Amino acid sequence: MKRQLLLRMTRARGSQSGFTLIEIMVVVVILGILVAFAVPNIMDNPERARITKAEHDIRALENALEMYRMDNFRYPTTDQGLRALVERPSSPPEPRNWKSGGYMRSLPTDPWGSDYQYRAPDNQGERVRIYTYGADGRPGGEGENAEISNLDLD
């Protein structure tokens, strides 16, 4: 019974096994069209991904600085810098309620391998400034070379 069924199925397929050259060419053309539209979009994404990572890092640093301020009633000084989030500052003014273990495990570097920059507020009520200079490591620029700052992310 099974053998007869297999023989019928094999005979039914007979000469129709495989694809014709035209079917293969249609598939290749369709794939080519898809690649032509997809590759430019994919090639632009690494730059956008680096910028997005920098924005997320800056927000995380700003949140950690806010926790530091709530515990110690002030932000670290510009000289103490972001390092105050992972190590207790030893320079004045020393924090009174520095959290054991710090506010972050380690400091991130920007997607281009540089340290994030920090500036404490000069006046009461001002915000801290956390920023990166972008891919070129210099102030100004456009696109991937532009500065990214927490003050610009709101």
pLDDT single digits (tens) 43-59: 667 888 889 999 999 99
What's residue 148's pLDDT?
Answer: 92
Structural domain boundaries in the chain: 45-152
pTM of the model: 0.70
With beta carbons less than 8 A apart as the criterion, state whether 50 and 146 touch. Answer: no
With beta carbons less than 8 A apart as the criterion, state whether 112 and 49 touch. Answer: no
Instruction: Measure the CA–CA gap between 88 and 74, rounded to whole angstroms.
Output: 14
Please give the average per-residue pLDDT across 121-149, as a whole number: 88
The DSSP annotation for 81-135 comes to -GGGGTS---SSSPPSSPPTT-SSSS--B-TTSPBPEEE--SSTTPPPEEEE-TT
Is residue 86 scored above 90 in pLDDT?
A: yes
Instruction: Measure the CA–CA gap between 58 and 153, rounded to whole angstroms.
Output: 9
What's residue 10's pLDDT?
Answer: 62
Q: What is the pLDDT of residues 9-37, one digit of tens each?
A: 666 555 556 778 888 888 888 888 887 77
Is residue 111 scored above 60 in pLDDT?
A: yes
Is residue 2 scored above 80 in pLDDT?
A: no
Of these ranges, 2-6, 42-46, 89-93, the one predicted with the greatest mean pLDDT is: 89-93
CATH number of 45-152: 3.30.700.10
